[in-house]
Amino acid sequence: MTTPYLHINGIRKIYGPVIATDHVELTIAKGEFMTFLGPSGSGKSTTLYILAGFQDPTAGDIKLEGRSILSTPSHRRNIGMVFQRYTLFPHLSVGENVAFPLRVRRMGQSEIAAKVKRALALVRLDGFEDRMPAKMSGGQQQRVALARALVYDPPVLLMDEPLSALDKKLREEIQFEIRRIHQETGVTILYVTHDQEEALRLSDRIAIFNAGKIEQVGTGPELYANPATRFVADFIGDSTFLKGELVGVSGNRAGLRFGDGTLVAAVPLHGTGTAGQAADLMLRPERIDLSAEAGAEGASLPVTVEDLTFLGNNTTIAARTGWGGALTVRVGFGHPLSGRVSKGDKLHVRWTPDAAHAFARG
């Protein structure tokens, strides 16, 4: 087996009674864009800070190209870092801010000038050398922070929610720039966010964090199509969960029975489960269809329409099953029922066999 470029090897971090991370295990390829996605307090930043050398792990190791970096002090790890809040030195010009890591490394004046110019060009701030940070927008300041983190060509760049202080439009603009910079430089990026859209837009792979552990690692499409747990299914994409119980578990397929006796036939079962166990049927609003006629038996449910929201390219419909389960369906603008559905209508949601998923409750 080839040595992974970066290996987060069983990292555990305990703060008093709090287990911040619990055996976090992950390998990252050279040049990969890896995102840590998860709710607040799930251990994303702790893992990043251990990589950066700001924190020591309670157990585990971090290896870069096969060698442990834990005993290397933070400033010698050669790892760039960009934080949520602009961390520019307010009394230094943009040029001086970007030059700072090079001065610390005692580089010559002309080399510094050339590298600062190149880094500012990379973030599209050519000619801003003499500007003071206070005279720049939030987005521009964050670009300067990015230029400062990249100016000494670190092989690894860590980014902790770098865009969360910016408004939506600016965030999207800089996401685009970050992607471009990643492609142009080939730097390996580890990026922390709790915004699934941002993670999907930027990443080669995403590690989903939950309560100090990684639940699943995969590309966006892999996580969307094949979530290993209910938590991942809930975190990537939109989903509706209908609570029932497992019947007829066979291999990695199971049926579900609901409150009024309704049965849904064999759907992919994620994780383990036994007959009689409480379980959720997951349906994605854009992967189920709404129709006047029932679909194939076991892959269709009668529903009553409760609410409609027209959103331009689709109409989002809230509906209720016979036993009172709530679900959401998204009907595209060109759909035969688009514009023809009213509150109180009795219709059917239908799906193709692999569009539904079952998750047993723990």
Ligand X SMILES: Nc1ncnc2c1ncn2[C@@H]1O[C@H](COP(=O)(O)OP(=O)(O)OP(=O)(O)O)[C@@H](O)[C@H]1O
Closer by beta carbon to ligand X, 35 or else 97: 35
Q: Which of residues 208-267 bind ligand X (CB under 6 A)?
A: 209
Residue 25 to residues 6, 11, 28, 207, 342: CA-CA distances in angstroms?
A: 11, 7, 10, 10, 50
| Of the residues 6, 8, 11, 20, which one makes contact with ligand X according to CB under 6 A | 20
Judged by CB under 6 A, does residue 42 bind ligand X?
Answer: yes
Cβ distance 240 to 219 under 8 Å? Answer: no
Nearer to ligand X, 38 or 218 (CB): 38
Distance between terminal CA atoms of the chain? 36
Among 22, 24, 38, 112, binds ligand X (CB under 6 A): 38
Instruction: Choose between 37 and 283: whose C-beta lies nearer to ligand X.
Output: 37
Residue 232: what are its φ and ψ, rounded to 5°? -65, -40
Specify the DSSP class assigned to residue 362. -
Q: Is 69 helix (H, G, I), strand (E, B) or coil?
A: coil
Tell whether residue 46 is a contact of ligand X (CB under 6 A). yes
Which listed residue (3, 18, 68, 271) binds ligand X by CB under 6 A? 18
Name the residue nearer to ligand X (CB basis): 48 or 305: 48
CB 54, min distance to ligand X, A: 10
Stretch that binds ligand X, among 35-43, 125-133, 181-189, 282-290 (CB under 6 A): 35-43
Q: Whose Cβ is closer to ligand X: residue 42's or residue 97's? A: 42
Does 15 help bind ligand X (rule: CB under 6 A)?
yes
Q: Is 277 exposed, middle or buried (0-12, 13-18, 19+ CB in 10 A)?
A: middle
Q: Does 272 bind ligand X (CB under 6 A)?
A: no
Query: Taking CB under 6 A as the rule, does residue 191 contact ligand X?
Result: no
DSSP 148: H
State the Cα–Cα distance between residues 296 and 301, nearest whole angstrom: 10
Answer yes or no whether residue 40 interacts with ligand X by CB under 6 A: yes
Q: CB-based contacts of 28: which residues, under 8 Å, 6+ apart?
A: 4, 5, 6, 7, 8, 34, 188, 190
The site for ligand X (CB under 6 A) is made up of 15, 18, 20, 38, 40-46, 194, 209
